[in-house]
Amino acid sequence: MTPFMNLSGKRILLLGGTSEIGREIALNALELGAAVSGIVRKNPGDLGYPVHILDLLDAQQVQQYVSTIESPLDGLVFSVGEFVRAPLSLLTPELIQRAIDVNINTLIVMLRALVVARRLRRGASVVLISSISAYLGVRGIAPYTMAKAALVALGRVLSNDLMRHGIRVNSVSPAMVRTRMSCGSPGEQQWLDQFGKERYPLGVGHPIDVAGPVLFLLADDAKAINGTDIILSGGAIRT
């Protein structure tokens, strides 16, 4: 019997390899037998897997990198993101554009280059990391929320576009996760604990809680799943 969630021999590219969620995905994919490489903006030091420094908004730079990929990839994970906060009184087109560039256009530039160069194998899986913010109208974070909602919608469109190539596209939308960004100081830690009690009956998540569904979607066990967003709500959204 084939082991469940077996990634042996799969080649996976991770966009956003320095985030805690991205690193959790990468290290656990390695444990499951995958060969993992990451794309980062600046040198992070030793992460436990090879990384390449790349500006994902520079199409020429991305195309040049893709031309160096010898064998087609089995998986692409998009874990790039930037939390852009702004109430309506401070909202500007520039802030919106920044959120779209970081949270959407970085994916489009890389994915387009990979598809054109046929560097995604038939049967490959693309997994996008969105956010529960796409479903909750949390005040003050319009740029981030708009971008993450757009990412979920884009995933559905891409799932239809790439299905003819045998490529699946899905997304994962986690609620609040304990990372350096969300609880980097004692005050933030205290706030998150209280916020979690009020909003998340199942508790605030950890990076491994996001990595698990992502790894499942990368595996052949999920080969029938396409165009789906898995919401990791922690109980914040109730059906």
- The neighbour count for residue 211, using CB atoms within 10 Å, is 23
Give per-residue burial for 73-111: e unless 16+ CB within 10 Å, then b: bbbbbbbbbeebebeeeeeeeebbebbbebbbbbbebbb
Helix/strand/coil percentages in the chain, nearest 5: 40, 20, 40
**Cα 17 to Cα 78: distance, rounded to the nearest angstrom:** 9
Positions annotated as catalytic residues are 130, 144, 148
- Closest Cα partner for 154 from 216, 215, 104, 120? 104
Q: Are 214 and 222 in contact (CB under 8 A)?
A: no
